[in-house]
Chain A
């Protein structure tokens, strides 16, 4: 806990590393993961940095690896999953990296070559397949055209007649290329979805002087460019005139149609078909062989892919980090600066030594602490239990360096406030089961990928555990299990008759229900009145306690940062204001609870009223000098109330005025003292210690009084008003818990309760009702209600609690660590800033 209360002491360390030892040193530090490097050349462009060449090389290698990955994926080869632990994997020397680069280069070239040859082969294959289709389909048209009775077919036959007599060369090319011929036909294959446009355009371009037939190819044909399977159609166009022929050829070209010459006699077609089949068979054997070869290559690649990726990414991250360093040309060494936790400087030294020995550099690297005025990063050591709580606080704002960390308190208060709003033994138990399942199967679940919403719950499993425990605890306090009271002990009350409107009588004067609320209240006519009063008062009590804790924490901050003004003129008036006004209210609540009001007659008569606390408080502010009889709770109340009001009123100017004036005075004093100092050697300013330097940062050289004063005024107003509104804000505890219990009651009464009361209660109807009830309970209460209770607890912590003391303007410690880079947490390397 001590570690979590304040962030780790950090130190700015300056490293002098010889050039040769630098990559290894960075590597060692990356494994250690405890050093956050500062950018020492913020003004230098990304491409003008010292090691940009190495980073680019790694980029290029990454590109090749991505290419391989894509290729293996396309070929359907599963990537070989390998558990690579970068911490144990030795870093290759520079030469090995060069080797890897050459290897990748060669592999890429080979793969590209294989791809092109494969593509050519596939294209040939496709052409042959298409041709085969053209031949078979067109054989039908050309052979069986005359058998058709349609007019088109007559035209078809007419067109064909000159062609048939045209000569022996007609079989080689059906196009009207020969000037002597004035008509002919074209056959080819086209993408099916282009066919419509194609037909329309052809019609228009040739003014309808053509005849087009098409048939779908049943199988899908692979497109050699994209490798996808596409639908295609065979078409045949008969036309007249040479010009038309040229136009058609041009259009076909424009539409990307493949033309295949088709002989016009059946015998020739047959012959060509046999040829095509023969060639296709040959081609397929070749293609198969080349595919096998390629698969083999890819398989060897995929085995090493993971390893290479790790190595390249590591290399890239190392040089990317080295780009942050300052290069001292004269001494041939790199100067790095970075923060590390003070207690880990020893480890950093060891890592540097190890790197020095490994790299065989001549001069050992030096690490020395450096004084600076820079704000240190905030670093909390968390474990898997505290991590999620810290994350919730970080989501609001990272703690200022070494200020009090609210996480320590949130670990208990957060689940507790959740429990207050979600108090139900039954619902709590269900949550408990879920969190226990998460924790029990932690190892298995961590490995696999999860559904996003579930993953969020899984990450918060320890918080869920505490939340469910507290909601069970509060459930016992409210005495509710799925909104049904539990009769754990005997009740102190008893109904005289079972009729509606009957009064309950007390069994014993000296018995009280031992734990939680007496179950008799459930279903009583004044149930709500009772629960409201109880929960409302409880919320205010909890709220004031938590806010007072917040104010007291500001005292610790004041002491830690040595700011006496913050203690005297902020903490003291604040705690007085809060403690007196709202503390007094709490006192009244408890006083009223403890006093036995039942001695009088029931119902109370006019002269024997129980004072309403709200009215007492209002009366106290409206006329503090008198307390009417009906508002008197205890003797001497008027003096105490008067004193409270007076002190509270004095507190407000105490908060507002002294601090800015004192700061101004102090600043002027300092300026006067510094004036002669200007004539002293420049060294003078460097002597200042860390603490003073921090102080310097805080107030700045230029002191703007009006700004400071306005700030203080806002702060004061916010606090005074905040006291009222924040206390009221805690009433959400009451509201949420009321809503929760009412919803649960309604769900019960509308489903199972309704069936049980009605005449149709049997196994089947109960089964249906149970389903509805369970669905509503899980979906609405456990799902939505718990989320809403969670959010309200979150708000109470972020706003009502933390605004009393938490600055939250620090920046998080982000060390250079392989663990973070390889888990994808650190994105700077991939994004190159």
Chain B
């Protein structure tokens, strides 16, 4: 079935499409940000957020506010919205939304493994996990010592099982190992999600989500490469982590696999239009590159609202909202730590 068909889309998904587009209009505007950055205290911030779609979500929090409370409450609101969508969704939208949560699951699993490696308290760790990526047997992760053990005791039950097949090793976890697992998982996840959108859903969804996911894949390729410079990771191992689709795949990916310095990387990137732009105004600094990537990804997500009758809006809404939460938290942090000079370094969602 092609979900992009105008004729039948609204039968099952019209209601949720309407809702998510309604949610989108609640995303903070440039004027809201202009007001937010003028705030002197977090209470001011709360007061202003009250006049937006966030409403009185902080009304029952005693002053003084902590930035973590703001973050938790914002996320809670997003999760509530997402769960509402998920509860109402009809297949295949339900599966699409599930796919979105897999990313968070991967993050949570890795968070827990890393946490246990550093012998942190489990309950504390579980609280830090993203609520969208929660699953029943999650706390059990802490028992696992090796990847195959992890797979056999926990992952087998979760939808992530197929992604795990490439990283079953008997070695004990180490920092490096965990990073490799993370990237392998993500690679498998992105590839599968991409396949699901393009092959199973098709239509406008394939078009929009293809674009977004391809960028995500390229972004991973570049970030992995950049992070691997001056580490023990061999070029062959590194090449295994690159997602096998995207704008860069296959020639770009192959040539990137050969690089070993930032300068080389940049040289290759110059021949890819959209990336050269991102790279030109970047110093060696990683932070700036991340920002530039975020900007571009937000642009793509924003664009997905320009089209009708597709599922990309659900993905994009969550991504945009997440960025918004990051922005609010950034502004809140700047206010709380009195670092007003840096307050403008957030990524605005509407230009």
- Tell me the A residues contacting B by CB distance below 8 Å: 45-48, 52, 56, 59-60, 62-63, 66-67, 197, 200-201, 204-205, 247, 250-251, 253-256, 831-833
Q: Is the CB of A47 within 8 A of B47?
A: yes
Q: Is the CB of B136 within 8 A of A833?
A: no
Q: Is the CB of B43 within 8 A of A56?
A: yes
Contacts of B141 in A (CB 8 A): 254
- A sample of 15 more A-B contacts (CB under 8 A), given A200-B137, A254-B122, A831-B50, is A47-B47, A52-B47, A60-B63, A62-B59, A63-B62, A66-B59, A66-B60, A67-B60, A197-B137, A247-B143, A251-B139, A254-B140, A256-B139, A832-B50, A832-B51
Contacts of A205 in B (CB 8 A): 140, 143, 153
The bracket for how many chain B residues form the interface is 20 to 34
Contacts of A63 in B (CB 8 A): 59-62
Contacts of B143 in A (CB 8 A): 205, 247, 250-251, 254
**Per-residue A-contact encoding for B40-58, CB less than 8 Å = 1, 0 else:** 0001100110110000000
**Per-residue A-contact encoding for B106-148, CB less than 8 Å = 1, 0 else:** 0000000000000000100000000000001101111100000
Cα A259 to Cα B35 in complex, Å, equals: 52
Q: Which of the listed residues B63, B122, B153 has the most CB atoms from chain A within 10 Å of its own CB? A: B153
Shortest beta-carbon distance, B120 to chain A, in Å? 13
- Tell me the B residues contacting A by CB distance below 8 Å: 35, 38-39, 43-44, 47-48, 50-51, 59-63, 122, 136-137, 139-143, 152-154, 156-157
Contacts of A247 in B (CB 8 A): 143
Contacts of B35 in A (CB 8 A): 45
Q: Given the interface contacts A52-B47, A60-B63, A832-B50, does A250 sit within 8 Å of B142 by beta carbon? A: yes
- When C-beta atoms are compared, the residue in chain A nearest to B63 turns out to be A60
Point out the residue from B50, B61, B122, B153 that lies within 8 Å of A201, measured CB to CB: B153
Work out how many contacts link A and B, with CB atoms closer than 8 A.
Answer: 65
Cα A47 to Cα B143 in complex, Å, equals: 50
Q: Given the interface contacts A45-B38, A247-B143, A250-B143, does A201 sit within 8 Å of B154 by beta carbon? A: yes
Q: Is the CB of A201 within 8 A of B47?
A: no
Q: Is the CB of B43 within 8 A of A253?
A: no
Contacts of A200 in B (CB 8 A): 137, 157
Q: Is the CB of A46 within 8 A of B47?
A: yes
What are 7 A-B interface contacts by the 8 Å CB criterion? A56-B43, A60-B62, A63-B59, A63-B62, A197-B137, A201-B154, A204-B152
Q: Is the CB of B44 within 8 A of A47?
A: yes
Shortest beta-carbon distance, A38 to chain B, in Å? 19
Q: Is the CB of B59 within 8 A of A254?
A: no
Q: Is the CB of A254 within 8 A of B142?
A: yes
Q: Is the CB of B140 within 8 A of A833?
A: no
Cα A247 to Cα B44 in complex, Å, equals: 49
Cα A48 to Cα B40 in complex, Å, equals: 9
Cα A62 to Cα B61 in complex, Å, equals: 11
- When C-beta atoms are compared, the residue in chain B nearest to A247 turns out to be B143
Q: Which of the listed residues A45, A56, A832, A833 has the most CB atoms from chain B within 10 Å of its own CB? A: A45
Shortest beta-carbon distance, A52 to chain B, in Å? 7
Contacts of B59 in A (CB 8 A): 59, 62-63, 66
Cα A251 to Cα B156 in complex, Å, equals: 17
Shortest beta-carbon distance, B255 to chain A, in Å? 44
Contacts of B38 in A (CB 8 A): 45, 48
- When C-beta atoms are compared, the residue in chain B nearest to A255 turns out to be B139
- When C-beta atoms are compared, the residue in chain B nearest to A45 turns out to be B35
Q: Given the interface contacts A46-B48, A47-B44, A832-B51, does A201 sit within 8 Å of B140 by beta carbon? A: yes
- When C-beta atoms are compared, the residue in chain A nearest to B43 turns out to be A56
Contacts of A66 in B (CB 8 A): 59-60
- When C-beta atoms are compared, the residue in chain A nearest to B41 turns out to be A47
Contacts of A45 in B (CB 8 A): 35, 38, 48
Shortest beta-carbon distance, A108 to chain B, in Å? 8
Cα A255 to Cα B140 in complex, Å, equals: 8
Cα A59 to Cα B63 in complex, Å, equals: 10
Cα A431 to Cα B267 in complex, Å, equals: 85
Contacts of A48 in B (CB 8 A): 38
Contacts of A52 in B (CB 8 A): 44, 47
Q: Given the interface contacts A56-B47, A832-B47, does A47 sit within 8 Å of B122 by beta carbon? A: no
